[in-house]
Amino acid sequence: MKTDLPQSFRRLEYRPPVYTFDQVELDIALDPARTIIKSRIEVLPGKSFEAGAPLVLVGQELEFVSLRINGEAHRHFELTPEFLTIHSLPNEGRDKFFVEIICVCVPEKNTSLMGLYVSNGNFFTQCEAEGFRKITYFLDRPDVMERYRVTLRAREAECPVLLSNGNLLISEKLPNGWHSATWEDPFPKPSYLFALVAGKLECIEETITTSSGAQKLLQIWVEPHDLKKTRHAMDSLIASIHWDEKRFGLELDLERFMIVAVGDFNMGAMENKGLNIFNTKFVLAQPETATDADFANIESVVAHEYFHNWTGNRVTCQDWFQLSLKEGLTVFRDQEFSADQMGSESGRAVKRIEDVRLLRQLQFPEDAGPMAHPIRPDEYQEISNFYTVTVYEKGSEVVRMYQTLLGKDGFRKGMDLYFKRHDGQAVTCDDFLMAMADANGRDLTQFRNWYSQAGTPRVKVQEHYDPSKKQYQITLIQSCAPSAGQPEKKPFHIPLKMRLITKGNNQVEQLLELTQANQSWTFDSIDERPVLSMNRNFSAPIHLDFEQSEADLLTLFSSDDDPFNRWEAAQRLAMQMILNNRLPDEKLINAYRNLLLDPKLDPAFKELALTLPAESYLYEQCASVDPQKIFAARRAFRREIAKQLQLEWAALYQQMQTPGPFKSDAVDVGKRALKNLALSMLLEANKDVWAPMAVNQYRIADNMTERYAALAGLVIHGTREAKDCLIDFFERFANDALVIDKWFGLQSSRPPVDGLEPTLSDVKKLREHPAFKMNNPNRVRSVIHAFCSNNPASFHQVDGSGYEFWADSVLALDSINPQVAARLARALDRWRLFSQPYQDKMKASLERVAACPTLSPDTREVVGKALGN
């Protein structure tokens, strides 16, 4: 009996390539129905070379045409749907030889959006992680780095613009209305960084001068009607380039740098060398159509992809197990850039809180679920499933801990040594760690455990104060729950910033390095029992198990000088009360009131402090989750805050107005955030009284932030006015795909409201809407993902209807775009955390998907791990 077991790849089985490539020449004749790719590859013996070994190339969904070796036809090969194996190589492969291959692909039928595909009549590529094999037969692995010379040919009327990596060498007119462009990238790169773009596009461009005095051309290419929405992305790119020069001494190394936006894209963006391809969501913005969050995300993602030019492109990964080497490091870099762009220390604190909130809402659950893995995984079946918040966001926190341990200057020394040693190489996480250690003379051996162990460490805090000796002692006990293949965990090296808060307020911040399972510190000359402020600025990505009294938490909330821990105290107070089904008491209400009225605090910080812990984070604090009970307790807690502080919310709504022309600076962004929270709270307190004010804000708003916030308040609170405003919103922005994504996403995210139909009824109608497209990832995310992953109270229904919808959607998507389907599949991977009857109904839906005989490997891995297979 034949069994198709999934193939697993293991880190410890890595073997260097038998052959490697040097120069690659591609000639690509673009046609939606039949693109012809001619490749000429210079092949050399690799690090694992064995005389007589065949050259094994990978290819998928390709039509093979011909093969030549050193200019002569070669017939000694085997061809399968995934491999081209070439035998009888010249001189048994000992010397350099040239392979020429002609093959064909069909871009217009490529719905996976991996490899070469067509979107709105234009050609685009996405090659990370393994998409290049859909373009031609190749050594499609990151440790094979080659120089490219690429000639693109197309009908000029259909594709007037032809772009690829590197520098433009020549453009030519060809017979029969065709034309060509030849590009050369002088820097070796792996195939996953290859890119081409062709079509009817226009660009905004700027010329800048780098720190060395070199002139560089910057271009952002979009469809013509979107050109007016590119200024913010260009400003973000320029700021990123200058910041990287100043902070890390890294300069743009090509004559030009290009960004291209496309509406059909699986990811946020891709850092192809010199030709970054972006989802339109992270390029296009103007105040009328993009929110403050959109502007911030564009700045962050543009920076992230540009920073990859060095951390990912110039120095890349030896294998895909090292993915966090480039992604975690580059997320850290873009977080630091965005924090600096805030323009103040309080702004940096707001950015830090936002980053940690994302980590705890998304990554902590992943660490505790069946897909848990270290930031450097030991095994995978489909690498596309490991572009995760663990690799990215937790990876960033691991990089940040280097800076905490070594200091900002020490971290820079480590970065400098890393580039000095490894520029132009494909390396490992260990290489990065050694650069940090060697540059600073530190033994970081134990720090490796962050790379090899899955799960979020838990640190238990025990404190003891002896008034007679005026001594205060802290004992820290670390542990980490078992995970797949790791029943026992070694102690982590955990840097913990702490401070003792007393009435005298004279204790300074200190850094504790927790390296043992159980470790104590004693502090002398402490005149009174202090309040401990621990893990300040979230210095380590841990669960802090610290049973502080409500009085101590109120002290931290009211007076801690560390903004993160002040916010954290508010979160812990709210969380404890919500999980115990308690309403906020008078002391907490007064603390909230004092914070709102404090003129010294940034509006952005106030908005964060009054935003309650997300339902998904509350789930992680429970042994067995009843989602409806948690939703009801959280909603009642919020409503009480809204009612008790109704006068303050009304006053803040007026005080936080931002008259004059729209500005996206940190001050106005913070004011709008607090104003919109105030509006939401007023609707929470009494929607009938305050709905007219929300409608007025919707009607007169001159920016999307305020218009969308008003609409969201009306929809989420189930007001009578919501329907008419939704109709108006669609009619206003029917021709703007990204805004219509917001329209879809808002309705799919509506929580349960008494007197209204279940949200699932609306979602099913939205799936049938003429503007919904199942083959567009953005539209799928705005409807299906928004409901299944971001709307827990509506998704988790006792009758299991949400899970049945999830199964239908996963199966429908899987045949179109396996990557998008696999992402959706993860909505049920924590099914064991829930109480009955939710648990059984989730399992039944998972088993239904798993039983599909044609399920893609991407989705099968996620569902299989969820079920424990």
The separation between CA 642 and the C-alpha centre of its own chain, rounded to angstroms, equals: 32
List C-alpha distances in Å: 836 to 518, 796, 843: 38, 11, 11
Burial of residue 853 (number of CB atoms within 10 Å: 0-12, 13-18, 19+): exposed
- Report yes or no: 389 and 359 within 8 Å, Cβ to Cβ: yes
N- to C-terminal Cα separation, the chain:
19
Contact 501, 530 (CB under 8 A): yes
Residue type for position 460: K
Q: Provide the pairing of β-strand 55-58 with 122-126.
A: unpaired
**Rounded (10°) angle between helices 666-685 and 345-358:** 50
Closest CA to 35 of 135, 85, 140, 106: 106
**Burial status of residue 215 (CB atoms within 10 A of its CB: 0-12, 13-18, 19 or more):** exposed
Which residue matches tokens 């079946």? 381
Q: Which two tokens stand for residue 772?
A: 């919904």
- What count of residues does the chain have? 869
Q: Which long-range contacts (CB under 8 A, 24 or more apart) does 508-513 make?
A: 509/536, 509/562, 511/404, 511/405, 511/539, 512/474, 512/476, 513/405
* Kind plus residue range of the DSSP H or E element containing 122: strand 122-126
Side-chain half-sphere CA neighbours of 30 within 13 A: 31
Name the active-site residue from 223, 305, 382, 620: 305
Nearest residue to 530 (alpha-carbon basis) of 613, 472, 485, 454: 472
Distance CA(670)–CA(663), nearest Å, equals 11
| Annotation marks residue 205 as catalytic | no
Nearest by Cα to 601 from 646, 652, 658: 652
The two beta strands, 77-79 and 35-45, are unpaired
d(CA 144, CA 193): 11
Judge whether 560 and 566 are in contact, CB under 8 Å.
yes
* Consecutive H or E run containing 313: none
Angle between helices 395-422 and 429-440 (to 10 degrees): 80
The DSSP code sequence of 407-418 is HHHHHHHHHHHH
Q: Which residues are catalytic?
A: 305
